[in-house]
Structure 1
Amino acid sequence: MKVILFCQNNYAFGILEPIKEVLEVNNDDFIWFIKEHIYNDFPFKSDKHTTKIADLRTYKSDVIFVPGNEVPHYLRGLKTQIFHGLAGEKKGHFRIRHYFDLYLTQGPYFTDKFNELKKEHKNFDVIETGWPKLDIYGKDKNKYANYKTELLKTYHAEKVILYAPTFSPKLTSGPHLVNQIKQLANKHPEYIILLKFHPLMAKEWLDVYKALAETTQNIIFQEEKNIIKFLLVADLLVSDTSSVIYEFILLDKPVITFKSISENINWENSNDYNALETLVKINLENDPFSQSRAYINSQFHPYNDGKSAERMVETVRTYIKVNGVPEKRNISFFRRLKIHSIFGKS
């Protein structure tokens, strides 16, 4: 089986890495496609890879795994959407753009909604597999335990707090929590506050938080691309309307959000940015939403066996064996124009 691992943003690397590992074990052939603007961040340069769509044309793949919104319709291969997050409330998550033959969903909440859309559009299939980015939860949840121990020891701290907001200007808490995070750090040296921002966050706010970290001992601005490391070591997450909330809740740890638009809020959510310090104390000491998190675990990602990547690979292998490999996907004139503007003509 010949596979393309299709990356438009650097968050795709951590999602696709477990699939790459399964392909290697199976001796399947694969190639990474990397958009040029993220090439410097690409961590697997010893693997076969390209930044040119023309190379993918000649590669003639059987399957294309895509944790993003678009893929060229004219490429050979089963165009497979594997998603870049779990935030179903975000604008566009359930939008059918008609670029994909197959949607591999993370859990029943997503599967049910996409099956309803399948009945309406009748031009794609839906199969639930789990999400490969979270395979580490089932395989090696304590991978960074030593890192956390050293971190706490170095800073003479007791708890790790992760601040990871979304980038969307209408939804992000970034502009509103600068002073509150500074105050929290200064008043509570027993906390280490890790800052981890989405790669599309506005530069002006990245600069503000970098400056804050440079002048505050127990605030650390993290530049690593894969957020999983920090989800695993953190004791509490602070966010807003971000997919990372669900990734963290699946670790059964407390979350605080500000002005979240989620339709399934099973964690601490507040409209008062000035309540940050109080809410951190309450949730670290009492964890009042511990019982409520069960819904997210059962509906958003009920798989804790660490085998979602395996299921994905075997699912597409079976699918093309039964249905064949699509040479291209038929889409509207408008959609073709959009693909041509992003990736060039066929």
Structure 2
Amino acid sequence: MKVVLFCKKPYSFGILRPLQMEAEQAGDEVIWYIDSDITSIFPYKADSTITSSIQAIVDFKADAIFAPGNNVPHFLRGVKVQVFHGLAGGEKGLFKKRKKGHFRIRNYYDLYLTSGAFFTKRFNQLAKKHGDFEVIETGWCKLDALFIQKNDFKEEKQALLEKHQAQKILLFAPTFSPSLTSAEAIFNEIITLSKNPNHLVLIKFHDKMNKEVKAKYKQAAQTLKNLVIVDDPNIIKYLIISDLMISDTSSVVYEFLLLDKPVVTFKTSSGNIKWTNVDKPELLISSVESVLKSDINQKNRQWIIDNYHPLSDGKSAKRMIEAVKNWLKNNTVPEKRKLSILRRWEMSKKYGKIKK
């Protein structure tokens, strides 16, 4: 099978990497399409074939194109496979305020690979309505490392705690959306938490976080030894080593919950809150301290695990590759998609003229 990994954002590196490893292990030919503005930070150049030329992808004539984004060029050959960039959806029951995400069908994809029953059920409903894509539950490839490596960083965590003379690691991972982010609203509280010698506060910003907000935190970190900004685009290790997460309406909340660890959010828009949420900044610190002392939400988290991603064997990428191969055995590679004139024009404008 000839595989394209379609990557437009740095957060997609860690999502698509397990698919590369699994496909190559199975003898498949793999090429990454990476937007030219992020190729310089691509971490897997040593053992990957990459290109920023859409014409090269056209000439490659793929059998399958895996993409975590909202769209993929309709004119490329290959079954278009949606693998998602998070576990958060965008409708009542998951998020009250809509985020552009999971359940919006844009007509670019032939196959949706879902992580758990909550998503599979909804996409099957949408598949019946639209009639031009199929759904297979496989688990999410990005989380393979989360489950495989969950016991790998014990020594590194201990060394980090000793270096900062702290007892617990708190991970602050806010979303970037101006209407949903907590980054500015709880700035003072995050700073106060980092001044507690018992806490090491790690901050992992979304790639799209406001630059002025990031600069504000970076300036503070220069004088606070227990406030550390994480620049690594792959958040997996920091999910594993942290004891508690502070966030808002970010899909990474669900990834952390799958490790069966506590979360405190500020003004989350989730419709299924299985953790501690506060709506006033002044309540954050006491809530964090309380949850660290007594993990009262442990039983509630099981619902998230059971419904969002029950498969914890670290083999989701393998299932995804096999699912696509099985799909191709029963279907021909789609030659075109039914898209509106506007969306076709948008794709042509973005990627330019190509020769088939």
TM range (shorter): over 0.9
CA distance in structure 1 between the partners assigned to 2:31 and 2:146 by the alignment: 26
CA distance in structure 2 between the partners assigned to 1:18 and 1:153 by the alignment: 32
Q: In structure 1, the residue corresponding to 2:298 is in which secondary structure?
A: coil
Structure 1, unpaired ranges of 5+: none
How far does residue 307 in structure 1 lie from its aligned partner after superposition? 0.7
CA distance in structure 2 between the partners assigned to 1:180 and 1:92 by the alignment: 29
Which residue of structure 2 lines up, in the alignment, with residue 113 of structure 1?
A: 122
Q: Letter of the 2:26 partner, please give it.
A: N
Is 1:175 paired with 2:184? yes
Worse overlay, 141-150 or 161-170? 141-150
Identity of aligned residues (%): 48
Is 1:245 paired with 2:246? no
RMSD: 1.0
**Preserved contact between residue 164 and residue 237 of structure 1 (Cα < 8 Å):** yes
Is 1:70 paired with 2:63? no
How far does residue 342 in structure 1 lie from its aligned partner after superposition? 2.6
Which residue of structure 2 lines up, in the alignment, with residue 304 of structure 1?
A: 312
CA distance in structure 2 between the partners assigned to 1:128 and 1:224 by the alignment: 29
Q: Letter of the 2:150 partner, please give it.
A: K
Residues 198-243 of structure 1, C-alpha deviations (whole Å, 9 max, x = no match): 0000101010011111111100011000011100000000000000
Is 1:156 paired with 2:161? no
**Preserved contact between residue 77 and residue 328 of structure 1 (Cα < 8 Å):** no
How far does residue 288 in structure 1 lie from its aligned partner after superposition? 1.0
CA distance in structure 1 between the partners assigned to 2:67 and 2:263 by the alignment: 29
Residues 121-173 of structure 1, C-alpha deviations (whole Å, 9 max, x = no match): 11111111100111123322112222111100111111000000000000000
CA distance in structure 1 between the partners assigned to 2:206 and 2:9 by the alignment: 10
Q: Letter of the 1:87 partner, please give it.
A: A
Which residue of structure 2 lines up, in the alignment, with residue 12 of structure 1?
A: 12
How far does residue 250 in structure 1 lie from its aligned partner after superposition? 0.1
**Preserved contact between residue 164 and residue 239 of structure 1 (Cα < 8 Å):** yes
Is 1:137 paired with 2:138? no
Is 1:126 paired with 2:135? yes
Query: Which of 225, 231, 249 is the aligned partner of 2:233?
Result: 225
Q: Letter of the 1:65 partner, please give it.
A: F
How far does residue 292 in structure 1 lie from its aligned partner after superposition? 0.4
Query: Which of 201, 208, 211 is the aligned partner of 2:216?
Result: 208
- Which consecutive aligned stretches of 4+ in structure 1 deviate over 6 angstroms post-superposition? none
**Preserved contact between residue 70 and residue 339 of structure 1 (Cα < 8 Å):** no
Worse overlay, 149-158 or 330-339? 330-339
CA distance in structure 1 between the partners assigned to 2:147 and 2:167 by the alignment: 26
Worse overlay, 60-69 or 322-331? 322-331
How far does residue 345 in structure 1 lie from its aligned partner after superposition? 3.8
Q: Letter of the 2:24 partner, please give it.
A: E
CA distance in structure 2 between the partners assigned to 1:105 and 1:243 by the alignment: 15
**Preserved contact between residue 7 and residue 68 of structure 2 (Cα < 8 Å):** yes
How far does residue 182 in structure 1 lie from its aligned partner after superposition? 1.1
The alignment covers a number of residue pairs equal to 345
Structure 2, unpaired ranges of 5+: 90-94
How far does residue 33 in structure 1 lie from its aligned partner after superposition? 0.5
CA distance in structure 1 between the partners assigned to 2:350 and 2:217 by the alignment: 32
CA distance in structure 1 between the partners assigned to 2:306 and 2:32 by the alignment: 33
How far does residue 330 in structure 1 lie from its aligned partner after superposition? 2.7
**Preserved contact between residue 266 and residue 284 of structure 2 (Cα < 8 Å):** no
CA distance in structure 2 between the partners assigned to 1:136 and 1:345 by the alignment: 38
CA distance in structure 2 between the partners assigned to 1:83 and 1:345 by the alignment: 27
Q: Letter of the 2:6 partner, please give it.
A: F
CA distance in structure 2 between the partners assigned to 1:330 and 1:57 by the alignment: 19
Q: Letter of the 2:72 partner, please give it.
A: V
Which residue of structure 2 lines up, in the alignment, with residue 277 of structure 1?
A: 285
Q: Letter of the 1:235 partner, please give it.
A: D
Is 1:235 paired with 2:249? no
Which residue of structure 2 lines up, in the alignment, with residue 337 of structure 1?
A: 345
Which residue of structure 2 lines up, in the alignment, with residue 22 of structure 1?
A: 22
Which residue of structure 1 lines up, in the alignment, with residue 92 of structure 2?
A: none
Q: Letter of the 1:301 partner, please give it.
A: H
Return the TM-score normalized by structure 2.
0.95
